[in-house]
Structure 1
Amino acid sequence: MSVAQPAPFDWRSVVVPVYLPTLVFSLGEGAMIPVIPIVATDRGASLALAGLIAALLMVGELVGDLPAGWLVAKVGERPAMIGAAALAVVGVVLALLLPTVFWLGVGVFLLGLATSVFGLARHAFLTSYVPARIRARALSTLGGVFRGGWAVGPFVAAALIAWTGHTESVFWVLVAACAAVVAVLLFLPDPERVFGAAQLARETSTATGSVRKVSGTANPDASKPADAPSPSVFRAIRENAAVLVRLGTGAGVLSALRASRTVVLPLWSVSIGLPAEQAALIVGISGAIDFALFYSSGQIMDRFGRLWSAIPGMLGMALGHIALAFTHDLPDRVGWFTALAVVLGFANGVTSGFIMTLGADLAPKDNPAPFLGAFRMIADTGNAGAPLLIAGITAGVSLVAANIVVGVIGIVGAAMLWRWVPRYVPHPHRRR
């Protein structure tokens, strides 16, 4: 008796409801990120303290990863994301109404918490319902959507600053974006109920006498069996400790390189005396190049393997940081800054979706959110730690030294992934 092949995954069924809220939120966040160090220095912060304030975005993401894994598994994506949008608005309003460095830091930290929920919610959904053969492209597209917002956001920021003359006016872009996100989530179909349930029905219809148990991101009323275990992030950590430490650490180094780029470029622009609108424009160009490569990264991973994306990108970012360190006092330092911002954007774009794809490769498909929360927490340790490291080295030595240290760490991280990914993740041609 022949078994029918599973119905092909329909991209059109998820493009708008899955990716649009992420795009809108990341656009608002992307407008705000380049101006955080500038606003901090305007409020009296030193260069090192401005770096610390910018780092609180990543610290918030790190702190939020475990609760986000539990929250998404418990209440579902849409309620969690609506709550996250509200939390981001609270943070921005606090930073605007209480114009001190401290409250700016609080607002940035709350934005980081909200970002962790947005990142994990869509990651868990695509992990459960996207076939393995196109997983990297789907998750690279999700990464590309984030990058698209981060690429467009700085251009919006530059235009708004030029129009209003006030750097803090950019914060209202995030408020408007969060309001739009809530509207999209409320008025478009919930992917968990509509698209997730449809995919499960197709899979069940092709099964040979067995019914697949599904929990986690699936609609609990439609697909979660009564005897399914309650979501536990800590159980996922215990059961997957070895892989989380080995591959999570390597992913954390990649996160550190990415986070360093978002902090170093604005700080470097301040240190060489660039005007705020010009700095935002250069960061926006870097982000646009980053964004342009997201789908190519997914194609590379699906066709050739995960490392063909990760290793070149990590080495490019590591060497780019090191090269930038030697340009600070050159006569054409602005030109070098622009060129290396482009290099860092290109290298980061090549790695688009790698961490999410790696997490999806390793996560259980029936209940991915707890594992992904743990995996993202470890990976985001680098995301949060790199800006703190940069702030500490900048305060104790210099921003130049911070760039060199981050670059060396990036080279070590590339070697770690080269060692461990082949052991735990099969080549895509053998993954069916």
Structure 2
Amino acid sequence: MVYLPTVLFSLGEGAVIPLIPVIAARMGADVAFAALVASALVVGQLCGNLPAGWAVSRIGERLTMVIAGVIAIGSGVGMVFAPTLGVLAASVFLLGFCAAAFGLARHAFMTTRVPIAFRARALSLLGGSFRLGVFIGPFVAAGLLQLFGAESAAIWFFLGCLVVMVLLVLLGPDPEKTIPVTTALRTAPLAPDSGEAVSGAIPTAERAGIFRTMWQQRSVLGRLGLAAASLSAVRSARQVVLPLWGLSLGLDASTIALVVGISGAIDFALFYASGQVMDRFGRLWAAMPAMVLMGSGFLALSLTHDLDSSVLWFGMFAAVLGVGNGLSSGILLTLGADVAPKSEPAAFLGSWRTLTDAGGAVAPLMVSAVTALASLPIAAAVVGVIGLVGAGGFIRWIPRFVPRAREERP
């Protein structure tokens, strides 16, 4: 009941996302406009985080997930029957909005109910659930395209996943009632203890609200939050730079897909190891090595473009970036949970996820701009510098905001 809804949502979403530009192109969009339609998903996620934080803090995680699932079904139907590109873009935007609400609801649930002693492993498994869907979804979409010959088949598959997910959340046992809020997160003053399991949002004497929470937590958001945003930016840049690098080397599409796929497989294989490292040795020992690996990998890759063995170096550093990304699995979820205020975590997590999503959204635009103004190797080098600066930020701010004492069992 905790992980299966996440797998269902991400599996359907992972099948649809690669086909959004294709659907837009079939409707008459040029390459630039097709990319714009696809980017509506990220914009929707950015816009959805703060309202999702408000919803989770008011109506609870379960109801937020159900509402997000129902609205996502509407967006899927809109994508299937979209008469114009504008309707398609609006449907994709709505899907991103719902994905933000769904992800934040599950993040808030894990923050309030998982004991600190194994929080990182639980959240790494949650991150792995999202990655599983994104990893397998494109293969499901490819099979459906071969079977039915239409992109709409993947959307119908997504709609089926959403229906099952909504029914599971509505009719299955409610984890909010069966799993109480962890003792570490109970704070005074709270409502008198009735002896019943806590469900829904965490009760507090006074709700701070979204914007007041942002102001109260501006120190951690402006320091550790920016370091987290740099990690999100490097992750996002990896998804853009690797395919472009393969194209610049003159590789065919199947070879590029193979290299990127191997990098993604390494990334997925390491997601639970990240949680083990964080719980056993501390958050810094997953965040810092991951950022150093990815930052150094991008910097080294930028020096290999014109070498005789450039293709070999491309494959090797793609694997290095996969290792770095895999070691960082769950770190953004875990750090957000660690520094979230105990009284009202959902409002803070909305701001935290908006900041990290913004880093991921800006990175592809930055890569595109630097490549246009200079070259792709320069763009890769810039991403590498961001990674190393982000590693320095984690070294500076994780010990301050997440000391080891807060990571240990209460």
TM-score (norm. length: structure 2) = 0.84
Q: Distance in 1 between matches of 2:28 and 2:371?
A: 17
Q: Distance in 2 between matches of 1:264 and 1:44?
A: 27
Contact preservation (8 Å) 2:190, 2:203: no
Deviates more, 1:416-425 or 1:277-286: 277-286
Q: Distance in 2 between matches of 1:60 and 1:340?
A: 32
Q: Distance in 2 between matches of 1:332 and 1:110?
A: 45
Partner of 2:211: 234
Whichever residue aligns with residue 34 of structure 1, its letter is P
Alignment of 1:260-339 (within 5 A): 260-265=237-242, 274-275=252-253, 283-322=260-299, 339=316
Distance 1:53 1:159, change over 3 A: same
Partner of 1:134: 118
Partner of 2:92: 108
Q: Please give the root-mean-square deviation of Cα atoms over the aligned residues, in Å.
A: 3.6
Alignment of 1:2-401 (within 5 A): 17-40=1-24, 49-98=33-82, 102-167=86-151, 169-196=153-180, 218-219=198-199, 224=203, 228-230=205-207, 232-265=209-242, 274-275=252-253, 283-322=260-299, 339-393=316-370, 401=378
Q: Distance in 1 between matches of 2:376 and 2:78?
A: 30
Distance 1:55 1:295, change over 3 A: same
SS of 1:193's equivalent?
Answer: helix
Q: What is the Cα deviation at residue 392 of structure 1? A: 4.1
Whichever residue aligns with residue 338 of structure 2, its letter is D
Distance 1:106 1:163, change over 3 A: same
Q: Gaps (5+ residues) in structure 2?
A: none
Q: Deviations over 1:374-413 (max 9, x none)?
A: 2222222202222333344456666555434333222222
SS of 1:196's equivalent?
Answer: coil
Distance 1:310 1:180, change over 3 A: same
Distance 1:419 1:353, change over 3 A: same
SS of 1:224's equivalent?
Answer: coil
Contact preservation (8 Å) 2:279, 2:407: no
Distance 1:329 1:69, change over 3 A: same
Whichever residue aligns with residue 355 of structure 2, its letter is I
Q: What is the Cα deviation at residue 79 of structure 1? A: 1.7
Q: What is the Cα deviation at residue 242 of structure 1? A: 0.8
2:398 matches 1:418: no
Q: Distance in 2 between matches of 1:268 and 1:167?
A: 28
Q: What is the Cα deviation at residue 260 of structure 1? A: 2.5
Q: Gaps (5+ residues) in structure 1?
A: 1-16
Deviates more, 1:296-305 or 1:367-376: 367-376
Q: Distance in 2 between matches of 1:113 and 1:47?
A: 24
Deviates more, 1:166-175 or 1:420-429: 166-175
Distance 1:408 1:170, change over 3 A: farther
Q: Distance in 2 between matches of 1:379 and 1:348?
A: 15
Contact preservation (8 Å) 2:120, 2:279: yes
Tell me the percent identity.
Answer: 48
Q: Distance in 1 between matches of 2:291 and 2:143?
A: 32
Q: What is the Cα deviation at residue 283 of structure 1? A: 4.8
SS of 2:174's equivalent?
Answer: coil
Q: Distance in 2 between matches of 1:300 and 1:339?
A: 24
Deviates more, 1:42-51 or 1:90-99: 42-51
Q: Deviations over 1:322-375 (max 9, x none)?
A: 555567788988776655544333221100111111111111234211111122
SS of 1:219's equivalent?
Answer: coil
